[in-house]
Amino acid sequence: MLKSTPLLQNTSATGLVKLWAQRYVPDLSIFSANQGQFNISEVIQAASLEGRTQTVAKLQRLLQTSCELAGIKTNILFSYIPNVVNLSEAGNIARSAVRVYEKVLEIYQQQSLPIVAQDVQPQTGEALPPWVRQAIELPDIQQLALQLEPELLQLQEQHLLTQDQRSRGFLSTHFHLSTKQVLNRLTLSEQVLLSPYFKFIEEQVCIPWQRVCAAAAKHPPDSPTLALVEQLLPQTEEIALTVYHRAVELYPHYRSYRGSLSESGVTASILRDLNMFQGYLWLCVLEKSLDAVEQELLPLCQMVFPSVEVKGEFVESILQLLFETILTRVDFDQTLWVTSYTLAIQQIFSNFETKVK
């Protein structure tokens, strides 16, 4: 759940903020994999003021329809729960989502640099010059969070008017589907540049990275707890992929409402959820409290997982795989107290299906 969380400017927080920002570096390997070589001029053209203006103009014509369609799909997924969102509320949520995306596009357009794409020679995927990196990377992560916070909080508040705590899951899923709808309308270069922005807003809704950084500020720079989080936070994506591939091996015939584990949409959802669980684990470790899991994460999962026919047994197995994978990357002297949190979270999610409201 997104909460207004000011960040203290101290050494402990700054270190984690840098690691948080690294999650949103444009993935140029996608471009290389699809076209055989990385053409800098094509990406720079899309990153220029002219290119970004064209991208923004294209998406502004499509945002309303994309968000409304995502709302319809989300309603279908959650249709097993009566009156979670009525038609009027769904329309309000779609309009609020449009405002969030419009703000993202405004920030995206402002990031352009006066670069002449024709002067940039195509080359393979070697290390990029600093000026190219500056042209395509996101703005300062704290400033981005601050600029988007009013719209995201308004959207969250709009949806929580249902008074159903579990309905946060609707909001997370709505953003995921909206992002998918929007990205499908872009060229590959535009996708590479805009995907980090969309990933950021999607994670802001459901993963408490900003709160993890804020909690770090309460620890001294030489804190063993802080050192552990700094060590493992950059491995979040790799850990999620490891657990996902292990799950595919163990459950080759498993299917949810959205399909098998190998379906692209299911893969994306599982990886996002595995990142989310890690975010909440490190928040609990830094805050020395399980409140965030008990009061936010469990209700969220109670809403989302049954709606897509994810079984409780699978949830518990995935959690076990996740925590086992994390513990293999922890030093021996850290294992005992990390285990105290992982076991507590597993206990909270034990007999998951009986806890679904």
Give the tens place of pLDDT for each residue, 190-222. Answer: 988 999 999 998 898 889 999 999 999 999 999
Kind plus residue range of the DSSP H or E element containing 255: strand 255-256
Kind plus residue range of the DSSP H or E element containing 101: helix 87-110
CB 29 within 8 A of CB 188: no
pLDDT category at 17 given cuts 50, 70, 90 is very high
What is the pTM assigned to this prediction?
0.85
pLDDT category at 1 given cuts 50, 70, 90 is low
| Residue 110 phi, psi (nearest 5) | -70, -20
Mean of all residue pLDDT scores within the chain: 82
Long-range contacts of 273-278 (CB under 8 A, 24+ apart): 274/239, 274/240, 274/243, 274/244, 274/318, 274/322, 275/203, 275/207, 275/236, 275/237, 275/240, 276/206, 276/207, 277/319, 277/322, 277/345, 278/232, 278/236, 278/239, 278/240, 278/322, 278/326
Interval 307-312 mean pLDDT: 77
The tokens for 343 are 């076991």
CB 6 within 8 A of CB 160: no
Task: Pick the range with the lowest mean pLDDT from 67-71, 74-78, 159-163, 340-344.
Answer: 159-163
pLDDT attached to residue 167: 52
The tokens for 119 are 């002067």
pLDDT attached to residue 84: 52
> What does the domain layout of the chain look like in residue ranges?
8-206, 208-357
pLDDT attached to residue 166: 47
pLDDT category at 356 given cuts 50, 70, 90 is low
- Of the candidates 187, 138, 180, 136, which has an alpha carbon nearest to the alpha carbon of residue 34? 187
Cα gap 149→152, rounded to integer Å: 5
- What are the counts of helices (DSSP H) followed by strands (DSSP E) for the chain? 19, 2
- Of the candidates 72, 69, 66, 99, which has an alpha carbon nearest to the alpha carbon of residue 85? 72
Interval 322-341 mean pLDDT: 92
pLDDT attached to residue 206: 84
| Residue 260 phi, psi (nearest 5) | -80, 170
CATH fold label, 208-357: Globin-like (1.10.490)
**Predicted confidence (pLDDT) per residue in 38-64, tens digit:** 567 788 888 888 999 999 999 988 887
Please give the residue that has the higher pLDDT: either 224 or 300. 224
The tokens for 38 are 């990385």
pLDDT attached to residue 117: 46
**Predicted confidence (pLDDT) per residue in 140-186, tens digit:** 898 899 999 888 887 777 655 444 544 555 666 777 788 888 888 88
pLDDT greater than 80 at residue 29: no
pLDDT category at 292 given cuts 50, 70, 90 is very high
pLDDT category at 333 given cuts 50, 70, 90 is confident
Interval 286-305 mean pLDDT: 89
**Predicted confidence (pLDDT) per residue in 78-137, tens digit:** 665 555 555 556 666 777 778 888 999 999 998 876 655 444 554 444 456 676 677 788
